[in-house]
Structure 1
Amino acid sequence: MLNHPSDDRVELFDARATEEQLAELRARLASTRLPERETTREGARGRDRWDQGPPLADIVELVDYWQTAYDWRAFERRLNEIGQFRTVVDGLGIHFLHRRSPRSDATPLVLTHGWPGSVAEFVDVIDELADPQDPLAPAFHVVAPSLPGYGYSDKPAEEGWGTERIAATWVRLMGRLGYDRFLAHGGDWGGPITIALAGRFPDHVIGIHTTTPQAPPGLSLEVLDATERQWVEHTRAFVADRLAYAKVMASAPQTIGYALVDSPVGLLAWILEKFFEWSDTADTPFETISRDRILDNVSLYWLTATGASAARIYFESHQSLDPDLRVTVPAALTTYPHDIEKHPRPWAEERFLHIVRWRAPECGGHFPALEVPEAFVHDLREGLAAVLTASV
């Protein structure tokens, strides 16, 4: 059972699965009933291998590793090293990582993950953000909450926990930690949440960095150059051909939830597909993201039984970002080349009215903190440094 501190208390949290939970996971993995091999042609390479989803051979190998060699306890220790806490905001228990910087000039920063990620996305970058090796680099007091229904945060028992309510919750969470003014970063669902934070709470948000700079809908192609039009076509192709997962979770999170909460291999395949498709890799996501880190993420979903509750953010908020919402605080925007959505700058400028830094790196995908952590930290630092300069 999770602890439920009273409404103004912040309590230390120790993530620890029972031995019975881990034994049950291994037993379920050992008794998995697998489908036949995909009908993709023999000898297919690269992305062709994944035309029908995660290849059987890859799943068999990964499940064997998950069952026999993977060490969940190492991830638990890492979470506890960073510092884990829980508090109740708006009636819901919220779990978060909190790493205070030793630097007196550090600025508070909230990092927001998305789906199919978790706080596991940030565990390899938090230390360097809080206590950089370079004394001239900016430092941050880092807060990384688990979204409602994710990880060790509570599962909402009522409708209404969409991006706007989450943004308001983050303001209260940061204030409770003594951070009345703070910076914000997010990607995937963390993008709309960060945009809502900046747009609705400019008195609290100094400025933002996002890798999901969603523009308002219905903008003209006439203002775009050839490269920017390619970005639009890339995004439209994703929406047309690869968005079925989101429509399923937006329309029937409970239905898919039964499979995700009952079958560890079903959960693994559902999530692994996205880590492959959305990463800047050729043949497997493990080219850039470690096998252990992906299993940390999947195991967190499994051990907390959050397959259904995490999916409900799509039911609550899919394509619901207010088209009239504008961001007036300084914004640093980055679009990675293999991300699933690409928003051209002329369109982004319709929402973000004070862009202080714009970047389009040469490599990286939807999970940059995992794929290219050093480059991600550098980009985030540079972006937030520009934000801080502009906010003076």
Structure 2
Amino acid sequence: MTAVEQKSGSAIRPFSVSVPEEALTDLRRRLAATRWPTRELVADRSQGVQSATVQALARYWATDHDWRRCEARLNALPQFTTEIDGVDVHFVHVRSPHADAMPLVMTHGWPGSVVEMLDVVGPLTDPPAYGGRAEDAFDLVLPSLPGYGFSSEPTEPGWDVARVARAWAELMRRLGYDRYVAQGGDVGAGVTDAMGRQAPGGLVGIHVNLLVTALGGLQFPTDTEEERAAAAAIATFRESGFSYFLQMATRPQTIGYALLDSPVALAAWLLDHDTDSYEKIARAFVDGQPTGNLTRDNVLDNVTLYWLTGTGASAARSYWDSYGVAAAAAAAGQAPRDVAVPVGFTTFPGEIWRTPRSWAELSYRTLGYFNEVDRGGHFAAWEEPELFAAEVRAAFAPLRGPRIPQPRS
């Protein structure tokens, strides 16, 4: 560490995960002491996460899930922390073994974490091992959002997606990357969209798999069957699937008390996101039939990470910062800056809505890649890692250039 790094707090420090056994013992004790509500009075999920799903999850969590397996997976990858704007940012940084790898910063969302991206590390950094080409390789940076996972909690409001985007640009600069691309879904799509609009030096392109502008103030056409279906799906989401969003955007602290006190409450809250992913996860626990990579162990790795780090409330507050009343008021009347860098977009069929190409073109004048794939949903990188990796490679293929040697962290 240099004297300048010590003074500025910009040092990049190695990190490893080591959860005390007492924390896991306490988790199992709390699972055993759960006070269960009576069963829902309907046969579907219209009243919320179903009892059979949560009880099956809790049984597996208490008796079969092995956190140490996830801990070992994380510790097998190079992990670091660095302080940016008062927050200790945790990130995974895997350099490709192949020459001319393109640097890529990829951002998770809620209710996810870096755990949902672990299975894309190999396909993105070492494509030949997965049937791809060495020239399509990436150096991969996977940060944990502030207040999520092993990143520290912000101690002041204002950490919206735009501020995170600026932090990620600083992270890439600090790592020595002066030419890179960015990718994200869910909240990560908001961060990546913001990076594209801020156009920091070095960013040459973005790829997203959720059209964040569709939940904003933009008006989209409904002339075609595809456009009408997307509009109807968004309307359904706003009418019957928006409760978690509204709660966290307006009263995150209230739900935070339950998320920090009861692991079952935390699990149910994280599962109650969108219909497609909920049904896939429910099948994994109730019927033992996972879809793609959404296995019981992988899902519980993510939930356990939230529990052990105590970040249920701080993650919820990120919605208040980005989408709450104060954020909406600050953004009122301000037209968003256009994205100047090339944009790639992939529509996954199980997403909350299937974005039509026409909507993506209206949102991004620089749209250069658009594709609709035949499987995968909201957690695309998690559910279908190799298909997702193939989409990321295809989207950024036209942007590749000669690699400039980078300093090693």
TM-score normalised to structure 2 length: 0.87
- Quick check: 2:241–2:274 contact (8 Å CA) kept in 1? no
Question: Which residue of the partner structure matches residue 232 of structure 2?
Answer: 233
Equivalent residue runs for 1:1-392 within 5 Å: 7-41=9-43, 48=44, 50-133=45-128, 134-215=132-213, 217-221=217-221, 224-274=223-273, 277-278=276-277, 281=280, 284=283, 286-288=290-292, 289-318=294-323, 323-388=335-400
CA contact (8 A) 2:102 2:180 kept: yes
The aligned counterpart of 1:45 is none
**Larger CA deviation: 280-289 vs 123-132:** 280-289
Distance in structure 2 (CA, Å) of the matches to 1:360 and 1:314: 28
Q: Deviations over 1:352-390 (max 9, x none)?
A: 12111111212211001111112111111111113448x
**Is contact 2:109-2:187 (8 Å) kept?**
yes
Q: Is the 8 A contact 1:280 1:365 kept in 2?
A: no
Q: Deviations over 1:311-356 (max 9, x none)?
A: 0111011175764221121111012122114443323223312111
Distance 2:74 2:281 in 1: 30
CA distance in 1, matches of 2:315, 2:126: 31
Structure 2, unaligned runs of 5 or more: 285-289, 402-409
CA distance in 1, matches of 2:141, 2:400: 18
SS in 1 for 2:119: coil
Q: Flag structure 1 segments of 5+ consecutive residues without an equivalent.
A: 42-47
**C-alpha contact 1:113 1:121 (8 A) present in aligned 2:** yes
Whether the aligned pair in 1 keeps the contact of 2:98 and 2:135 (CA below 8 Å) is: no
The answer as to whether partners of 1:261 and 1:308 remain within 8 angstroms in 2 is yes
CA RMSD between the two structures = 2.1
Q: Aligned equivalents of 1:229 and 1:208: distance in 2?
A: 27
TM-score if structure 1 supplies the norm length?
0.91
Segments ≥4 residues shifted beyond 4 Å: 319-323
Structure 1 residues 135 and 344, CA, compared in 2 at 3 Å: closer, same or farther?
closer
Q: CA deviation at 1:275?
A: 6.4
Question: Who is 1:44 aligned against?
Answer: none
- Between stretches 282-291 and 62-71, larger displacement belongs to 282-291
Q: Please say if residues 357 and 386 of structure 1, whose CA atoms lie closer than 8 Å, have aligned partners that are also in contact.
A: no
Structure 2 CA distance for aligned equivalents of residues 113 and 179 of structure 1: 20
Deviations, residues 93-141 of structure 1 (Å, cap 9, x unaligned): 0000110111121010001011000001100111221111233450001
Aligned length: 378
Q: Give the secondary structure class of the aligned counterpart of 1:348.
A: helix
